[in-house]
């Protein structure tokens, strides 16, 4: 579904060139959820923006559904770290923003918007303004907005990272539920190992400066997954530990000791 082939990216920084990504090759299969994990500055968001068509790679190619990505596509939607709701629009109108810009069928999408809001537990809040909602509710509305165009691909850039831990887990579980209902290919950027293990079919681990693909870890734990006590706690712990080792620099001693 999504294919990155020998993708590199160089930013013109203030002190010369910055190699954000170096020779990344990654394929995400249809309906798969791949999480990108890595420390800050490893180019996770850059990769996502390339798939979204918001940024062009310096070299290499990115394709979605077999077509090279030139500009943003209607069947690819993007969810940001912050809810990015328009403060003057009601929740419902915010969800319908893409419908207006992309000129989709309003009546049908209106019904769909109500369905989606119901699905994420925002029924009854359609007419509220964003500032009347909590952070978690805002991000739920934002999720509805990114689903309204029935995307084939959903790109999520640390969408839950600004929320408290419990809300975050709740939303992760909701996302799993939505995936069961609707087929979607998802790339999910996070710096949380927990989140990566909870959601992913595969975890792509990136190393920073320049961003390189360090390893791809398969997560074959049955769903739905939760963080609490469950039958697969051992497996969750095992994968988490592996990711942890990959992300931490080899000798831990010097940095942690104060």
Residues that bind another protein (CB under 8 A): 52-54, 71-74, 77-78, 80-82, 84, 86-88, 97-98, 100-102, 129-131
Helices 106-119 and 165-181 sit at what angle, rounded to 10 degrees? 130
- Round to whole Å and give the CA distance between 106 and 101: 11
Residue 183 Cβ vs another protein, minimum distance, rounded to whole Å: 21
CB 142, min distance to another protein, A: 9
Would you say 71 or 229 has its CB closer to another protein?
71
106-119 vs 135-147: helix axis angle to the nearest 10? 140
* Ramachandran sector of residue 38 (left: φ over 0; alpha: ψ -120 to 50; beta: rest): left
How far apart are CB 234 and another protein at their closest, in Å?
39
DSSP H helices, 57-105, are: 91-95, 97-102
Token output for 188? 């999910």
Task: Mark out the alpha helices in 120-192 (DSSP H runs).
Answer: 135-147, 165-181
Of 41 and 53, nearer to another protein (C-beta) is 53
CA distance linking residue 51 with residue 227, whole number of Å: 30
CA neighbor of 75 nearest in space, from 65, 83, 85: 65
Least distance (Å) from another protein to the CB of residue 129?
5
Comparison of 34 and 52: residue with beta carbon closer to another protein: 52
The nearer residue to another protein, 8 or 77, going by C-beta atoms, is: 77
Closest distance of CB 192 from another protein, Å:
20
Of the pair 73, 225, the CB lying nearest another protein is at 73
């Amino acid at each position: 579904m999504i294919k990155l082939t020998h993708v590199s990216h160089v930013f013109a920084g203030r002190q010369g060139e910055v190699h954000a990504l170096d020779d990344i090759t990654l394929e995400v299969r249809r309906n798969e959820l791949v999480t990108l994990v890595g420390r800050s500055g490893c180019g996770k968001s850059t990769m996502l923006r390339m798939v979204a068509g918001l940024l062009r790679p310096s070299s290499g190619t990115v394709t979605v559904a077999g077509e090279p990505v030139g500009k943003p596509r209607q069947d690819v939607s993007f969810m940001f770290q912050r809810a990015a709701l328009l403060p003057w629009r009601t929740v419902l109108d915010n969800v319908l923003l893409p419908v207006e810009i992309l000129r989709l069928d309003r009546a049908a999408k209106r019904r769909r918007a109500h369905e989606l809001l119901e699905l994420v537990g925002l029924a009854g809040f359609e007419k509220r303004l964003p500032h009347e909602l909590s952070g978690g509710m805002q991000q739920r509305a934002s999720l509805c907005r990114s689903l309204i165009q029935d995307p084939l691909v959903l790109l999520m850039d640390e969408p839950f990272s600004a929320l408290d831990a419990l809300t975050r887990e709740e939303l992760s579980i909701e996302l799993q539920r939505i995936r069961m209902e609707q087929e979607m290919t998802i790339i999910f950027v996070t710096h949380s190992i927990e989140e990566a293990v909870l959601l992913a079919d595969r975890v792509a681990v990136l190393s920073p400066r320049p961003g390189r693909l360090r390893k791809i870890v398969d997560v074959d734990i049955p769903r739905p997954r939760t963080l609490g006590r469950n039958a697969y706690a051992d497996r969750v712990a095992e994968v988490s530990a592996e990711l942890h080792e990959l992300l931490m620099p080899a000798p831990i001693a010097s940095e942690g000791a104060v």
